[in-house]
Amino acid sequence: MNWGVLLFPGSNCAEDCFHVIDSVLGEPVRYLWHKDTDLGQLDAIILPGGFSYGDHLRPGAIAHLSPAMTAVKAFAEKGGLVIGICNGFQILTEARMLPGSLLQNKGLKFLCQDQTLKVENASTAFTSEYETGDVIICPIAHNEGNYYAKSETIAEMERNGQVLFRYCDPQGLVNDSTNPNGSINSIAGIINRQGNVVGMMPHPERSSDSVLGLSAGKGVFVSMIKHIQTLNS
Amino acid sequence: MTKKKADMEENLWRKAGLTDSEYELLTKHMGRAPNVVELALYAQMWSEHCGYTHTRPLFKHFLTTGPRIVQGPGENAGIVDIDDDEVITFKLESHNHPSAIAPFQGAATGVGGIIRDILAMGAYPIASLNSLHFGHPGAKGHTRWLISEVIHGIGEYGNCVGVPTVGGEVRFSNAYKGNPLVNAMCVGFMKKSEIKKAIATGVGNSLMIVGNLTGRDGMGGASFASKDLEDENDEDRGAIQVGDPFMEKLLIEACLEVFAEDYVVGVQDMGAAGILSSSVETASKAGNGVEIDVALVPKREEKMRPEEVMISESQERMLLIVKKGMEEKVNKIFHKWDLHAVVIGQVTDDGFYRVLEDGKTVGEVPVWSLMDAPTYVLEGKEPAHLAETLKFKNEDVEIPKDLNDVLLKLLASPDICSKTWVYRQYDHRVQMNTVVKPGSDAAIVRIKGRDKAIGITMDSNGRYCYLNPKRGAMSIVAESARNQVVSGAEPIAITDGLNFGNPEKPDVYFQLEQTIIGLSEACRALNTPVIGGNASLYNQTPEFGSIYPTPIIGMTGLVKSLAHVTTMEFKAAGDFIVLVGETKDELGASEYLDRIHGLVTGDVPELDLELEADTQKYILETIRSGWIKSAHDVGDGGLAVSLAESCIQGKLGAVVTLDTDLRSDSLLFGESQTRFLLSVAEENLDQVINEAASRGIEAAVIGRATQEPIITIHNNGLKLVDVSLDDCSNAFNNAFDLLMKADA
Interface contact flag, A111 B245, Cβ < 8 Å? no
Chain A hits for B245, CB-CB cut-off 8 Å, are 51, 54
CA distance A153 to B75: 58
B651 touches chain A (CB under 8 A): no
Considering the candidates A94, A129, A144, A205, report the single residue annotated as catalytic.
Answer: A205
Select from B253, B430, B569 the residue whose CB has the most chain A CBs within 10 Å, as the one to mutate to test that interface: B430
Check whether B328 has a pLDDT greater than 60: yes
B702/B689 Cα distance (integer angstroms): 12
Of all residues in chain B, the one with the smallest CA distance to A110 is B425
pLDDT for B139: 62
Query: Which position has the higher pLDDT, B5 or B709?
Result: B709
8 Å CB contact of A203 and B429: yes
Q: Touching check for B308 and chain A: CB below 8 Å? A: no
User: pLDDT tens-digit profile of B149-203?
Assistant: 999 999 999 999 999 999 999 999 999 998 999 999 999 999 999 999 899 999 9
* pLDDT tier for residue A21 given thresholds of 50, 70 and 90: very high
pLDDT at B6: 43
B238-294 per-position pLDDT tens digit: 566 788 999 999 999 999 999 999 999 999 999 888 999 999 989 999 999 999 999
Q: CB A141 to CB B162 under 8 A?
A: no
Question: Which among A10, A109, A212 has CB closest to B249?
Answer: A10
Interface ipTM: 0.96
Q: Tell me: the pLDDT tens digits for B222-246?
A: 666 666 765 444 455 456 678 899 9
Indicate whether B7 pLDDT > 80. no
Does B2 score more than 50 pLDDT?
Answer: no
**By C-alpha distance, which of B183, B185, B76, B184 is closest to B454?**
B185
CA-based nearest residue in chain A for residue B437: A212
Rounded to an integer, what distance in angstroms lies between the CA atom of residue A22 and that of residue A6? Answer: 15
Is there a contact between B448 and A51 if contact means CB atoms under 8 Å apart? Answer: no
User: Of A13, A86, A138, A168, which is the active-site residue?
Assistant: A86
What CA–CA distance (Å, rounded) separates A187 from A174? 10
Give the mean pLDDT of B454-483: 98
Rounded CA gap, B653 and B708, in Å? 6
What's residue B51's pLDDT?
87
Beta strands in B3-147 (DSSP E): 69-71, 78-81, 86-94, 124-134
Judged by a CB distance cut-off of 8 A, whether residue B4 touches chain A is no
Q: What is the rounded CA–CA span in Å between residue B188 and residue B231?
A: 37
A13 is an active site residue: no
Distances (CA, A) of B384 to B187, B420, B479: 39, 39, 27
Is B316 within 8 Å of chain A by CB? no
**A contact test, residue of B432, B448, B450, B567 with most A CBs within 10 A:** B432
- Chain A residues at the B interface, defined by Cβ less than 8 Å, are 9-10, 12-13, 15-16, 19-20, 23, 49-51, 53-56, 109-113, 139, 141, 143, 203, 205-206, 209, 211-213
Number of domains in chain A: 1
A212 closest CB neighbour out of B249, B435, B449:
B435
The minimum CA-CA distance between A124 and chain B, rounded to whole Å, is 27
Query: By three-state DSSP, how is residue A52 classified?
Result: helix
d(CA A73, CA A52): 18
How far apart are the C-alpha atoms of B41 and B20, rounded to whole Å?
A: 16
Do B432 and A110 make contact, defined as CB atoms within 8 angstroms? Answer: no
- CATH code for the domain of A16: 3.40.50.880
Report chain B's mean pLDDT, rounded to a whole number. 93
The number of beta carbons lying within 10 Å of the beta carbon of residue B301 is 14
- SS3 state of residue B61: helix
The pLDDT value recorded for residue B742 is 58
Query: Domain B566-744 adopts which CATH fold?
Result: Phosphoribosyl-aminoimidazole Synthetase; Chain A, domain 2 (3.90.650)
For B349-385, give the DSSP string. Answer: SS-EEEEEETTEEEEEEEHHHHH------------TH
Residue B5 is predicted with a pLDDT of 46
Torsion over CA: B430, B434, B438, B439 (sign): positive
Is A138 among the catalytic positions? no
Containing structural domain, residue A202: 3-232
Residue B551 confidence (pLDDT): 98
Q: What is the mean pLDDT of residues B363-386?
A: 94
Considering CB atoms only, which of A56, A109, A139 is closest to B429? A139
pLDDT greater than 70 at residue A216? yes
* B159/A contact by beta carbon, under 8 A: yes
B428 at interface of A, judged by CB pairs closer than 8 A: yes
Q: How far separated are the first and last CA of chain B, in Å rounded?
A: 62
Known catalytic residue at A77: no
| pLDDT per residue as tens digits for the range B149-159 | 999 999 999 99
Share in percent of chain B as helix, strand, coil (round to 5) = 40, 25, 35
Mean pLDDT value of segment B63-79? 94
Give the start-to-end residue ranges of the domains of chain B.
Answer: 1-372+422-564, 566-744
Q: Which pLDDT score, from 0 to 100, does residue B48 have?
A: 84
Sequence-ordered list of residues with C-beta below 8 angstroms from that of B686, at least 6 positions apart, any chain: none
Split at pLDDT 50, 70, 90, the class of B676 is very high
Strands of B52-174, DSSP E: 69-71, 78-81, 86-94, 124-134, 165-172
Instruction: Summarize pLDDT for B609-642 with one digit per residue, the tens.
Output: 999 999 999 999 999 999 999 999 999 999 999 9
Residues of chain B with pLDDT > 90, as a percent, come to 87
B429/A56 CB distance under 8 A = no
Euclidean distance between the first and final Cα of chain A, in Å?
12
**Which residues, in sequence order, are CB contacts of B142 under 8 Å at separation 6+?**
none
Is B430 within 8 Å of A13 when comparing Cβ atoms?
yes
Give the mutation candidate from A24, A25, A110, A218 for the B interface (greatest B CB count, under 10 A). A110
User: Dihedral sign, CA of B162, B163, B169, B174?
Assistant: negative
Cβ-defined contact of B338 to A9 (cutoff 8 Å): yes
**A111 and B425: CB-CB below 8 Å?**
yes
Q: Let me know: does A155 contact A170? Beta carbons within 8 Å.
A: no
Give the pLDDT band of residue B8 (cuts 50, 70, 90): low
The answer to whether the CB of B130 falls within 8 A of the CB of B425 is no
- Per the DSSP assignment, residues forming a β-bridge with A3 are A29, A44
